[in-house]
Amino acid sequence: MYDTIIRGGLLVDPETGLESPGDLAIRAGVIERVGHVTGDAAVEIDARGLVVAPGFIDIHAHGQSLAADRMQAFDGVTSSLELEVGILPIGAWYDRQKAARRVLNYGASVAWAFARIAVMIGRPLEPSLSFMGRCFDDPRWSQETATDRDLAAILAMVESGLAEGGIGIGIPHAYLPGAGAKEIVELCALAARHDVPTYTHIAYSSNIDPRSSIDAYTRLIGYAGATGAHMHICHFNSTSLRDVRRAAEIVAKAQAQGLPITVEAYPYGTGSTVVGAPFFADPAFTERTGNPYTAIQFVDGGHRIRDRDELLAAGQARPESLVLWHFLDTETDPEARELLDLSVLYPGGIIASDAMPWTMPDGTIYEGDAWPLPEQAASHPRSSGTFTRFLREYLRERGKVSLREAMRRCSLGPARILEASVPAMRRKGRVQEGCDADLVVFDVETITDRAEFMAMNRHAEGVRHLFVNGSRVIADGKLVTDAFPGQPIRGRGTGS
């Protein structure tokens, strides 16, 4: 007897091209049969009129908590990975997640920034993303150039994290302007030696030279060519600003020459980060980005920054406070909408949310288990609606992608970026016999995001069932509140 049979759904596998009605059987967390299934199961699901697809793999998710998992489950996500920034120490973080209750599969890259903090200002490491935000109170780790001795210690810490199973190396370069080309080259060379990807927030987000986004992309391409490292570009939309078209041209040219570069984007013209981010403090911020300071808005309370003095004061008082950055007005500006489309629909690109933690009015991260989330809990809407927004807008409403291509961008594409260095990814992102039963069952006609900037914690709709390792975490459109089937995803280090 099978554990579960899903009957009559539209089976979609972006790798083999499967897109036809059929059945799917699950046993012991694995897809055992695809096609016509006979026999019985403990649970049978009528999926007629629904799509049965591989669960979405979010390689850029900063939430990493029970609350974040639950909101992303309604967004169709089955694996939620913290890769852009990463974590240190890796082993301690995985131990902490194992002890906690995780709904989704989880994993992290090695945090180069954390290694810099430990080496350059001597702070004891904490395996939490908020650690980096708090450390902007002493910006030497971010602003200063590492000595040769410092760099050797930083690289040793990063390499140790890879040995513990870190999924590549997080390189949020824009947050560490003191790091020069020599340091980044050594970091990328380390990644290449271990055959793991880097996940890069490019060094500059600016429409004008010097230190423009185009400058940063050209450097990233150079790092790929000089070291052979796989350079994955995080949030192509928010770092390119209004230079997406030219950025896309030069990245495409580099890819055509065989350089290992991949791209992700999310379908919003608003980003989110901490108020202490060094690029906000640039005296030429408004000229370089084309945005006034009022484009920066606190997640908690919705207050918009008035001027540079207020920004600097806020960054000094609580540098880890989360803010929204409205960098493209896609609601009223047709050109901004076109620019966002260029990044979201970049050929071969993938969708990734850059989901942020859920915070309370006092600025603390919500770590509780209430469902629904507390009314005051806030985060960027992308933390609950990235993939469903993409499907609603780009698949159903505007017809910009086919169903199979949409699934590639949400599942198989992320798996392929990781699978050379993360063995578990070869069994994910696919609807095939022998693969993990990480599956999303959704209604194309109703799937949608519901979160808005004035109502951030509305979960998405249209996902009827979600399976993680064969266990349902959403059943008939409702959260299974006692399901915690998430498992660790690690790189091939000694800790994997």
Does residue 496 register a pLDDT over 80?
no
Domain count, the chain: 2
Residue 288: predicted pLDDT:
92
Residue 363: predicted pLDDT:
82
At 388, list the tokens.
Answer: 């469903």
Residue type at position 322: L
Q: Which are the contacts of 318, defined by CB distance < 8 A and separation ≥ 6?
A: 275, 276, 363
Q: Say if 331 falls within a structural domain.
A: yes
Task: Give the N- to C-terminal CA distance of the chain in Å, as an integer.
Answer: 32
Same domain (yes/no): 249, 154: yes
Same domain (yes/no): 100, 248: yes
Residue 494: predicted pLDDT:
57
At 184, list the tokens.
Answer: 């980044």
Q: Say if 489 falls within a structural domain.
A: no
Same domain (yes/no): 157, 218: yes
SS3 of residue 472 by DSSP: strand
Tens-place pLDDT, residues 370-400: 999 999 999 999 999 999 999 999 999 999 9
Same domain (yes/no): 416, 383: yes
Same domain (yes/no): 138, 156: yes
Phi then psi dihedrals of residue 44, to 5 deg? -120, 135
Tens-place pLDDT, residues 414-424: 999 999 999 99
Q: Say if 488 falls within a structural domain.
A: no
- Nearest to 204, CA basis, from 86, 122, 285: 285
Q: Which are the contacts of 311, defined by CB distance < 8 A and separation ≥ 6?
A: 275, 280, 281, 293, 296, 305
Residue 330: predicted pLDDT:
86
Q: What is the dihedral of CA 379, 384, 385, 387, to 10 degrees?
A: 130
Q: What CATH code is carried by the domain that includes residue 14? A: 2.30.40.10
| Calpha distance 350→449 (Å, rounded) | 18
Same domain (yes/no): 358, 470: no
| Calpha distance 457→381 (Å, rounded) | 7
Work out the average pLDDT over 184-205.
Answer: 97
Tens-place pLDDT, residues 264-281: 999 999 999 999 999 999
Instruction: Point out the domain boundary residue: 405, 423, 441.
Output: 423
Q: At what angle do helices 148-163 and 112-121 cross, to 10 degrees?
A: 140
At 351, list the tokens.
Answer: 């969708």
| Calpha distance 491→195 (Å, rounded) | 11
Q: At what angle do helices 181-194 and 213-227 cross, to 10 degrees?
A: 50
Phi then psi dihedrals of residue 111, to 5 deg? -85, 100
Q: Say if 175 falls within a structural domain.
A: yes
Does residue 256 register a pLDDT over 50?
yes
Residue 301: predicted pLDDT:
82
Same domain (yes/no): 78, 220: yes
Same domain (yes/no): 181, 275: yes
Same domain (yes/no): 329, 444: no
Instruction: Point out the domain boundary residue: 406, 423, 440.
Output: 423
Q: Say if 486 falls within a structural domain.
A: no
Q: Say if 244 falls within a structural domain.
A: yes
Report which secondary-structure segment, H or E, holds 315: helix 308-317
Same domain (yes/no): 450, 359: no
Q: Say if 484 falls within a structural domain.
A: no
| Calpha distance 133→155 (Å, rounded) | 21
Tens-place pLDDT, residues 438-488: 999 999 999 999 999 989 999 999 999 999 999 999 999 999 999 999 999
Region for residue 44 given its phi and psi (left: phi exceeds 0; alpha: psi -120 to 50; beta: otherwise): beta
Same domain (yes/no): 18, 66: no
Q: Between the CA of residue 63 and those of 391, 394, 431, 466, what are the distances in Å?
A: 22, 25, 27, 19
Q: What CATH code is carried by the domain that includes residue 82? A: 3.20.20.140
Q: pTM for the whole thing?
A: 0.96
Strands 77-87 and 231-233 turn out to be: unpaired
Strands 350-351 and 261-265 turn out to be: parallel
Q: Between the CA of residue 82 and those of 57, 189, 331, 356, what are the distances in Å?
A: 11, 22, 30, 10
Question: Bridge-partner residues for 80, per DSSP?
Answer: 58, 106
| Calpha distance 288→270 (Å, rounded) | 17
Question: Bridge-partner residues for 22, per DSSP?
Answer: 9
| Calpha distance 129→271 (Å, rounded) | 17
Cβ(48)–Cβ(441) below 8 Å:
no
pLDDT band of 495, cuts 50, 70, 90: very low
- Nearest 5 degrees, angle CA 461-CA 465-CA 470? 145
| Calpha distance 466→76 (Å, rounded) | 7
* Percent of the chain residues topping a pLDDT of 90: 94
Q: Say if 487 falls within a structural domain.
A: no
Tens-place pLDDT, residues 101-136: 999 999 999 999 999 999 999 999 999 989 999 999
Same domain (yes/no): 43, 60: no
DSSP 8-state assignment for residue 445: T
Tens-place pLDDT, residues 147-168: 999 999 999 999 999 999 999 9
Instruction: Point out the domain boundary residue: 379, 398, 423.
Output: 423
CB atoms within 10 A of CB 249: 12
Q: Which are the contacts of 416, defined by CB distance < 8 A and separation ≥ 6?
A: 425, 429
No. of helices (H) and no. of strands (E), the chain: 16, 20
Note down the domain range covering 42. Answer: 2-54+432-479
Tens-place pLDDT, residues 55-102: 999 999 999 999 999 999 999 999 999 999 999 999 999 999 999 999
